[in-house]
Each structure stands twice: as C-alpha cells, then as structure tokens.
Chains A and B, each alone.
Chain A
Amino acid sequence: MTTPSEVLPAVHGAELTKDGHPYGSKPIENTALLGMLLFIASEIMFFAGLFAAYFDIRAKNLPHWPALPEGAEFGVTPVIIAATFILISSSAVIEWGVIRIRRGDRRGMNRAFALTVLMGVTFLALEATDWYILASEGVTLSGSVFGSLYFTMTGFHFAHVLGGVIGISIMLGRGVSGQFSARHHTAAEAVSYYWHFVDVVWVLLFATFYILR
C-alpha cells in the first residue's frame, strides 16, 4: 500500500478514489520515469540538431576536413582515450548502484553513486584539459568552423555531464541521509537513465570526431 503523500502532489490531499488510489490507478513512480524518458527524447532531438549541423558543414567542406587553421593538429589524444574510458565505465558503475538499491542495499548504492560522481568530475577535468591543449594549438570556438562545431558540441555535452554530476550528487546526499529503499528509488533510477544518455552522446561524439572525422 502506498500512502497518499507518496502518490499525490502535496497540496491535493483530497483526491483519492474509494480504494485509496489516485485517478488513473497507476503509481506515480512510473509517471516520473516516463517523464524522464520523454525529457531524454527531447534531448536526443537537441543533439540531433547539432549533429545534423556538423554533417551538413562537413559535407560542404569535404575533402578539406577537418578544416583547421595553419599548423593546427587534431586527432585522438591519450587525454580523450582516458576520458572516454572513464565515462563509459561510469555507466556500468551507476547501473550497479541502481541494482543494489533495487535489492534494498542503500550502502551499496551510495558507494556506486559516489564513485560515479568522482568519475564524472574526472571526465570533466580531462575534457577541460583537452580543450586547453586544443586552444593552445590554435583550435578555438572562433578560429574555424570546425572549432565552432567541436567546442559547441563537446561544450553542450560538458554541460550535460555537469548537470548529471549535480543530479547524482543530490541522489547521493539523499541516499546518505537515509532515503531510498527497494520500493522507493524512482529519482535515483531516473537520474541513472539520464547518465546513460549523456554517456551514449559521448560515444556518438567520439565516433563523429575521431573515427569518421
């Protein structure tokens, strides 16, 4: 049995049908996860817009691509390899945390989420390093259209990872303060969906910038 405070917005205390369920009779937990999936759908379209711009401009410039300023180099670096490895692994780590809380192991979830935050922050630091190296070689947002695309696309991905790190940190704080159980962990699960999404976007960015060129 769920109590009214769990299934209803707090200000609408009186809206239960006779059997104690809200109209619609489906638990609000699923609705929140559905909301996250819909949000991710809109985010996919946002990045699709950026990727479409990339491939359009790339097609216009072929075979001179990536079009860089004189003397600048662009290619996969150890920093990027490390960042990619860490971000992809973090997806497995957060999934492990979600599996733990489904079995009621809050401590296990907290550990996994703390590790995910750490890996996310490391990714951000490596990404910033990559930007710094590129900028010092002359590839900048305003220097060339390739730079505009690279920094905009990785920049918005950076912002999304940062958002994910903040979200996971909040979940970690709630877990440490004793919230979440085997039944009630919708928020943690929703944040994990989002984290997988930013991970997949990075895989596509990596494939676009370093494999397809």
Chain B
Amino acid sequence: MATTTLSPRASAYTARSRVLEWLTTTDHKKIGIMYITTAYIFFLLAGLMALGIRTELAFPGTQILDPALYNQAFTMHGTTMIFFFVMPMLAGFANYIVPLQIGAADMAFPRINALSFWIIPFSGVLLFSSFLLGGAANGGWTSYTPLSEATYSTTSGQDLWLAALILSGVSSIMGAINFLATTFRLRAPGMTMLRMPIFTWTVLVTNVLLLFAVPVLAAGMLMLFIDRNYGGSFFNPAAGGDTILWQHIFWFFGHPEVYILILPAFGIISEVIPVFSRKPLFGYKAFVIATVSIGVLGFGVWAHHMFTTGAVFLPFFSITTFLIAVPTGVKMFNWIATMWRGKIVFHTPMLFAVGFLASFLIGGLDGAFSASTPIDFALQDTYWIVSHLHYVLFGGSALAIMAATYYWFPKMTGRFLSERIGKVQFWIVLIATQLTFFPMHLLGLNGMPRRIQDYAPNAGWQDLNVLATIGSFGLGLGVALMMWNIFASLRGPKTAGDDPWEGNTLEWATTSPPPSYNFDHLPEIRSERPVFDLRHPGAGHAPALTAGDGAKP
C-alpha cells in the first residue's frame, strides 16, 4: 500500500543498537521519556538536599551542614527543583503528549527538539560540578546582587550557576519555538484552536511565557557574568550601576516563571478530573480564557516580589496581583464544577488531582495574603513565603506531576503502575506535604526568617521545625515508593491496552505505546473530546445528525 511504504532509509534506521537509537532519536516520545527520566534524577538529588536542610533545621545548633554548605544546599535545592526538575518534567510530558493530543506525527522541528533535551543533562552536570570546583553558588535561587557579585561570592560556583542557567534557558527558548510552531502548524484536520485539549492550551500559553521571559533573564545573567568576570558595573551602585535592576530583571522573568511551572500542571489536572469524573470539563472556553489571562497578567505582577525595596509602585503591583487570582479562581471553580455530580472514580491519578486542588488552594490563598502590601511588609523573607511557594510548587506542580505520571504511564509503556502502591504513596505524600509545609506558615508568623542555618533554642521555633522535618522524611518515603513502583511496574505485564481510563483526547486513540509515527488513522475531530465522541457516537458535543434532523419544523 502506497501510504505505508517505508522510506529507503528505514533498514538503516532499524539496524542501530538500542542505546544508539535512544542517544540519536528525534522521536518526540523518546525525547519526552528522556526528559522525564532526567527530571526525576534531578528531583531525587534536589530532594536529598531538602532532607539535608530539614535535618539541619530540626534542632538548634549545627547538625550536618555547616553555614557555608547550608547556603549552597538551599541555593542548589531551589535552582535544581525549578530549572532541572519541574521545567524539564513538564517539558517532557508536553513533548510526549502534545503532538499526540493534536494528532501530529512529531514536533515541528524534531532535531531541535533533541538538542533542547540534550542541553539539559549537560547544563545540569555543569551546575553540579561546582560542588567539586570550590563550592556551589550560595546566593539563593534568586542570586540577588550584591550578594552574587564577585566581592561577596568568591567561588566559581556562581559563574557555573550563571552558565548552566543560560544554557538551560537556551534549551527552553528552543523548546518554546518548537512547541509554538507545532501547535500552530501541525494540528490534525478538524483540530481547531478551540478543540485543543486543555493540556495543550496550557502548554501553548506556557511556551509563550517562556519565549518572552527567558531571554530577559539571559540578558540579566550575562550582565551579572560580565560584572563578575570582566569588570562591568551594571549592578554596582558605587560605580553608577543599580542593584535593584537585578531584582527587576530577575522577577520580570521570575514571575512568568511561576506560571510556567504551574500552568501545565493546571493542564494535567484538567485532563485527569474530567476523565475520572466521567463528565466533560466544566466551562472549557472559560478555562481557555482564564489560561490566556494568566499568561497576560503574569507579565504585570513581577514587582510584588519587591514591595519592601521601596523602589516600586505598590498599589499597581498589588492590584494586578489580586487580579491574577481571579482567573486562577475561575479554574478552581471549573474543576469543582466538573466533579460536581460526576461519577467519580478514585484511581491514583484522580487522588493526586484532588490532593492538588486542596494543597494548591491553600498555597493560592496565602499568596493572596502577601499581595496585600502591609501584610507583605511583615511577611517578607519569613517562612510564610517558604510555605506559600512550597504549597504551590510541591502541593501544586509536584502533585500534578505525580498525577501525570500515574495517568500517562500506561500510554507510555502499555503497563499500569501499581494502584495499591499508588494509593499508599498518595496518602503518605498528601499527609507529609501538610506536615512539612503547614508548620512553616506558623513559623513565618512567629518571625522565623528564611535562609537561616541556625536559630536560638529559646526562639520557640523548635517544635514546629521538628514537625516539618518529620514531614519531609515522609515525603522522601513517598517518593521512594513511587520510584520503586515505576521500576517494579516496568517489569510487569502489558495489560493497559490503548485506552485504560476511557480518556477523551487523541493520545488514547492510538496504541500504548504509540508507533513512532503516532497514528495509523485518526478519528474524526468534532469537539475537544474526539475519543469520547468515537466511543459514544451521537452523545458528544457535536451529535451526529441523521438526515432531516437539521431541518427546521
């Protein structure tokens, strides 16, 4: 048959060894799996650093990390979690799922896609090599000047940090170009913009944010690099430069960045909840509009990280920050309304999705507190902020990533992850999340500053710190269970089938795992739930009209 004739290079293609095949692949699915694997490795590394930090803080005095090492640990923990865990992880799921969801054969630029991935492990190694080369960066993941200038940060760690993040930024920019070109150009016939699955929509908006935010950070990092190494004075007030400029540049990137970390997580939750509630997503268009508004408003709130500098116009950034809570609230109601009166099935992905709703709600609410400037002046740089950002990043992004892992593992491998271990893991992770991060709210209110290695025994902070430390080891146990589940399930039988969850979107219309070219044939796409329409002809958004049905009486 003419349509399935393999190219003349097909024989050379299959003769490669499996290792070489993975090293040289341009298949978006293999690249996606490599992204996800790499991200999980960095997750474990950064998680170990978190356990070190928590162990140190459990009791007053120095336990295992001296102050110098402690500074490196929290800097590298934050940097690794954000740039080498959440970002590559979400890029990995997007890589695997987006071309499938829009019915494409691959990404628009497959070789650039491979390059985007391969930069990540190399820049990660560059970042971690600083531990062996005189000490890692120690100025926090925000690397504020003048702390990160050569005068105060004397090791090469800060330079390696800059180099590694500029590289990973290049990877993000190339990935963003690739995703945008893919979603704009390679959608299957019938897949209009307003029929794209919500996950694809959130990835689209995320990549617009990446495209516009990351280059600005790259400019700032290059200026800091020039300051440190070639005698520049961009951030040196004594020579006419401006210290606050770094904060503006960093947060002009940094605030869109938090939406880069959470929007695809919203997308994952919006895929999981309708499938396991057996209902269409409530308010599809409202959800799309909310996602786009978050993307637009996300560029107008950066200085709420800088209220206490005294150098920003407080009312403007306060009001935009409150405004951006509105579309986020819309999404929360969409999810709850989707579950309302649904036939809810609590498989592991759904458990994590519901856990996400609860934890993210707490994180979102205490974010709104900090948007109020008088309250922020009191809470700035306390553990309240640490609690807020972990509720949205761990309770939000990381729980969504776990949901995605359980949800799409059958598609990627043809095998289920163990539901039994999954449910145990869910309850451990959910309880440990609250146990670790909720006491930090109270610590913040009690005045405990962030980024300290030690505190006085009579400060009254010890009990809550012990609770948080116990919780963090619970999280470690939960993650270890998950890793064991993945390894054990990979050796199990392929029982998942093509569509184990009765999904809605196109990735469930092909085999598990899909062939390298993705689809033998595509179902007709007449709504945002083509696979549902296929399973229930006449029951979807666009009921099949029989002859005469369209006629007016």
Interface residues of A (CB under 8 A from B): 4-5, 8-18, 22-26, 28, 30-31, 34-35, 38-39, 41-43, 45-50, 52-53, 56-57, 60-61, 67, 141-142, 144-146, 148-149, 152, 156
Contact = CB atoms under 8 A, between A and B. Distances in A.
A65 to B, nearest CB: 9
B113 to A, nearest CB: 10
Nearest to A5: B7
Interface string B172-204: 010011101100111111000000000000000
Contact of A61 (B105, B236, B240): B240
A34 B169 CA distance: 20
Q: Which 7 residue pairs are nearest across A and B when measured between Cβ atoms? A: A13-B7, A142-B231, A49-B219, A46-B215, A145-B240, A45-B215, A148-B232
A168 B185 CA distance: 26
B212 A145 contact: no
Contact of B13 (A11, A16, A25, A46): A11
Contacts of A52: 216, 248-249
B188 A38 contact: no
Contact of B176 (A10, A16, A42, A48): A42
Given A23-B186, A141-B232, A49 B103 contact: no
Contacts of B110: 9, 11-12
Interface stretch (B88-96, B222-230, B447-455, B478-486): B222-230
B181 A35 contact: yes
Contact of B185 (A11, A31, A47): A31
A191 to B, nearest CB: 16
Interface string B506-545: 0000000000111100100000000000000000000000
Contacts of A149: 234
B242 A34 contact: no
23 contacts: A12-B110, A13-B10, A14-B4, A14-B5, A22-B105, A23-B188, A31-B108, A31-B109, A31-B185, A43-B215, A45-B214, A46-B218, A48-B215, A56-B248, A60-B240, A67-B240, A142-B233, A144-B239, A144-B240, A145-B233, A152-B223, A152-B226, A156-B222
Interface residues of B, number: 63
A23 B103 contact: yes
A24 B220 CA distance: 38
A25 B239 CA distance: 58
Contacts, number: 168
B331 to A, nearest CB: 27
A18 B184 CA distance: 22
Q: Which of B6, B9, B214, B219 is packed against the most chain A CB atoms within 10 Å? A: B219
Contacts of B10: 13-14
Nearest to A46: B215
A57 B226 CA distance: 16
Interface in B1-51: 3-10, 13, 26
Nearest to B207: A38
Contacts of A5: 7
Contacts of B242: 56-57, 60
A48 B109 contact: no
A47 B215 CA distance: 8
B241 interface: yes
Contacts of A141: 226, 230-232
Contacts of B241: 57, 145, 148
Contacts of B3: 16-18
B159 interface: no
A150 B182 CA distance: 38
A143 to B, nearest CB: 8
B6 to A, nearest CB: 5
Contacts of B104: 23-24
B271 interface: no
A47 B8 CA distance: 45
Contacts of A11: 7, 9, 13, 26, 110
A38 B176 contact: yes
A24 B248 CA distance: 41
Nearest to A24: B186
B362 interface: no
Given A14-B7, A35-B181, A53-B219, A42 B214 contact: yes
A46 B212 contact: no
A34 to B, nearest CB: 5
Given A50-B219, A152-B222, A35 B109 contact: yes
A152 B241 CA distance: 14
A18 B3 CA distance: 6
B218 A9 contact: no
B216 A45 contact: yes
A145 B234 CA distance: 6
Nearest to B233: A145
A46 B169 CA distance: 11
Contacts of A144: 233, 239-240
Contacts of A4: 7
B98 to A, nearest CB: 13
Given A24-B188, A57-B245, 16 more contacts: A11-B110, A23-B189, A24-B104, A24-B186, A24-B187, A38-B176, A38-B181, A42-B212, A45-B211, A45-B215, A49-B216, A50-B223, A53-B249, A144-B239, A145-B232, A152-B234
Nearest to A48: B216
Contacts of B176: 38, 42
Contacts of B7: 4-5, 10-14
Contacts of B226: 141, 148, 152
Given A9-B106, A148-B232, A49 B181 contact: no
B15 to A, nearest CB: 13
Contact of B212 (A12, A13, A41, A148): A41
A177 to B, nearest CB: 22
A25 B242 CA distance: 51
Q: Which of B10, B233, B249, B519 is packed against the most chain A CB atoms within 10 Å? A: B233
Q: Which of A9, A17, A148 is packed against the most chain B CB atoms within 10 Å? A: A148
Nearest to A56: B245
Q: Which of A12, A34, A50 is packed against the most chain B CB atoms within 10 Å? A: A12
B420 interface: no
B232 A12 contact: no
A37 to B, nearest CB: 9
Given A24-B188, A57-B242, A61-B240, A142 B106 contact: no
A87 B111 CA distance: 32
A160 B217 CA distance: 18
